[in-house]
Amino acid sequence: MRTEGRAMTVGGGVCVTVVGVALAGMMVMGGAGDAAARETVTVVSWGEQSARVASIPGASVAPGDVPGETGPVEILRVDAEQSPAEAAVKLLGIASPRLPTMSYALEGMIRYQQPPIPGFLQMWSVFEDGSRYFTKGMADSGPLARIAGASEWRRYVLPFYLSAESGAPSAVEMEVVLPGGGHVELGPVRLVAFAGGEDPPGVAGVGAGRLADLSWWRAQFFVGGQWWTPEGGGVVGGLAGSLLGIICSILGALGARGKARGLVLGGMRAMAAMGLLAMTAGVAGYAVGQAAAVVYTLLLLGVIAVAVCLSTCARLRRRYEELELRRLQVMG
């Protein structure tokens, strides 16, 4: 009995190992995909934009801390109450950016204090023939959210997708539009290029600081019609995989000792059922055009949950039957 009990414990350990390997794979692949998909073209520090800042009414630059940045950085503060609320205020211009891909974005961190009328950030892509195309942050939430209410530091992203005919832009400009005035602060601005087919608002490195930032979480889900971003998919897979591993290990340990039969077998079947639901959601996501980060995460989690939980449930059921048979033999 001692040897058999140990064998079942080892079986539970195999279950945890399989889930742990899958978890690590999803997290590593998610992080590697983000690192490979994005390239920082240039970083704009407001301390280097003194001439531009001096031309902006109500603007000033001061050092401060911004989430995601290492140490104090220069923060641009725009107080539109000190000047007429004009339609748009040009904050910066990047001339002749060297973009290696067809997709790019301006991204950074912003915070603001209750503007009387909602405003927004705006990026202009300017081309040699004089044409200009804008990207406005006018969404209700996420990295493309408008400037409304009051917000602590949150991430913003202003993406643009080039066509083969347009060629690279001759300049990229950024504006803030505050129709009713207001107070806005901006950290350093990054011009970032993305690999073809990627969704710029959903790609960024995941760190402990970001995971503790509620605005980061809001930026990962239901963005651009997608259930979650590639970055959010890595976190979803990691959390779900770790939870599956923990529950599996607990139920496996109970089953190895012949305890809580109803709870153990019922729990394993319930997790297998949830895995089946995840697989169904993955297929549905594929049918409605969800990105690979959504479909892959759901299908992988579903397959692992169904395979591991059903196989472990079968072994545990045999274990309970063996223990019950021995108990009857002893009583007889």
Q: In the prediction, which pLDDT does 328 show?
A: 82
- 3-state secondary structure (DSSP) of residue 171: strand
Q: In the prediction, which pLDDT does 325 show?
A: 86
The Cα–Cα gap between 225 and 14 comes to 38
- Residue 244: pLDDT band (50, 70, 90) is confident
In terms of pLDDT, which residue wins out, 175 or 213?
Answer: 175
Of 187, 213, 247, the position where a domain reaches its end is 187
The Cα–Cα gap between 201 and 224 comes to 8
Q: Residue 201: pLDDT above 80?
A: no
Q: Residue 173: pLDDT above 90?
A: yes
Averaged pLDDT score across all residues of the chain: 79
Contact status, residue 184 vs residue 110, Cβ threshold 8 Å: yes
90-107 residue pLDDT tens: 999 999 998 887 889 999
Q: Are residues 309 and 235 in the same domain?
A: yes
Q: What is the mean pLDDT of residues 110-134?
A: 90
Q: Residue 35: pLDDT above 70?
A: no
- Residue 125: pLDDT band (50, 70, 90) is very high
Contact status, residue 327 vs residue 297, Cβ threshold 8 Å: no
Q: Residue 158: pLDDT above 90?
A: yes
301-320 residue pLDDT tens: 899 889 888 988 888 888 88
- Does a structural domain hold residue 136? yes
Q: What is the mean pLDDT of residues 221-244?
A: 75
- Does a structural domain hold residue 237? yes
Q: Residue 73: pLDDT above 80?
A: yes
Q: Are residues 50 and 145 in the same domain?
A: yes
Q: Are residues 60 and 152 in the same domain?
A: yes
Query: How big is the chain by its Cα radius of gyration, in Å?
Result: 26
Q: What is the mean pLDDT of residues 132-154?
A: 87
In terms of pLDDT, which residue wins out, 109 or 88?
Answer: 109
Q: The CATH number of the domain where 76 resides is what? A: 2.60.120
When divided into structural domains, the chain yields a total of 2
Q: Are residues 26 and 56 in the same domain?
A: no
- Residue 143: pLDDT band (50, 70, 90) is confident
Burial grade of 6 (CB within 10 A; 0-12, 13-18, 19 or more): exposed
Q: Residue 258: pLDDT above 80?
A: yes
261-293 residue pLDDT tens: 889 889 889 999 999 999 999 999 899 888 777
**pTM (whole model) above 0.75:** no
Residue range of the domain that includes 53? 46-187
**DSSP-assigned letters across all residues of 129-145:** TS-EEEEE--BSSSTTB
- Does a structural domain hold residue 163? yes
